[in-house]
Amino acid sequence: MSRFTVLLGFLIIFSCKNKSNYIEEVVANKTKVSALIESFKFNKEKATPLISVHRGGSGLANYPENCLETLQYVNDSISAIFEIDVAKTKDDVLVLMHDHTLERTTTGVDRLDKYTYQELQAFNLVDDFGTETTFKIPKFNDVLDWAKKNKAVLTVDIKRSVDIAEVINAIREEQAEDISIIITYDVEQAVKAYTLAPDLLLSVSARNQEELGWLLETDIPTENMLAFTGTRLSDVKLYESIHKLGIKTILGTLGNLDKQAEARGDHLYKTWHTMGIDIFATDRPFQAATALNIVK
């Protein structure tokens, strides 16, 4: 056996032990959990609806999505939580960006990961109507810092190019556990997120009774869950099942349901809340907040 093979084997074993030790340490310290785990429990007597602002604010004139200035603008006006997208630059800086490429939301071109963070500063963010602003692509750490100072809750959508461990580490570095929710899309992602961060609140996919059942078969406590029920209305029985577990529901009204409300009347948001929806992930945060009587 060559020296190189022996060294490689040693490094792999050492790396695995370090990861195992890290997970054991986090689990051992589970008593210090995110404040959101308690504050986001479903309580029928306190079932006040919440707005989740999709991409930090989209469809807003002069305010681009995934933009720090947009978060501030919306937060100044309504009480809401903010869904943001986290991607990674060429030099491994975590930033806010939904697309893999720059053309739609910035004055730049080509893939985000072809640029260092410093190189990206040459570009400006563009709103959904094509209007160029003076705003720049923000660092995830800066957004976490802003959220802490403004007591704003973030739901963090992690792009495929980013390892969930990197995002959790950034949250730890900023001591932002009490304002951060990790979004997962399937049971495997949810289990990985819980294994790495059993102290954080997770948005988990429960679009039907089967998906809810899969989640309940894992070791993830129900108090660590927010149930994303999809972008279409489900049977009321699903919402009732979720509520009986002490879990709040999220409905993605972004897209067709927002369009329905725009065409037929914003009172629909109130109807959906009556059906069992607790959190509305929407591209119409101001209209939804008004309809649901959510005040700052």
What is the predicted pLDDT for the residue at 31?
Answer: 53
Q: Which of 296, 279, 246, 273 is CA-nearest to residue 43? A: 246
**pLDDT tens figures, 250-268:** 999 999 999 999 999 999 9
Mutual angle of helices 3-28 and 187-196, in 10-degree steps: 80
Strands (E), 139-295: 154-158, 180-183, 201-205, 225-228, 249-252, 279-282
The CATH code of the domain at 35-291 is 3.20.20.190
State how far the Cα of 12 lies from the Cα of 239, in Å rounded to an integer: 45
pTM score, whole prediction:
0.89
Domain boundaries, the chain: 35-291
In sequence order, which residues have a C-beta less than 8 Å from that of residue 163 and are 6 or more positions away?
none
State how far the Cα of 293 lies from the Cα of 120, in Å rounded to an integer: 40
**pLDDT tens figures, 25-83:** 444 554 589 999 999 999 999 889 999 999 999 999 999 999 999 999 999 999 999 99
**pLDDT tens figures, 77-124:** 999 999 999 999 999 999 999 999 999 999 999 999 999 999 999 999
Residue that is written with structure tokens 């609140």 in the block: 201
Point out which residues pair with 29 in neighbouring strands.
none
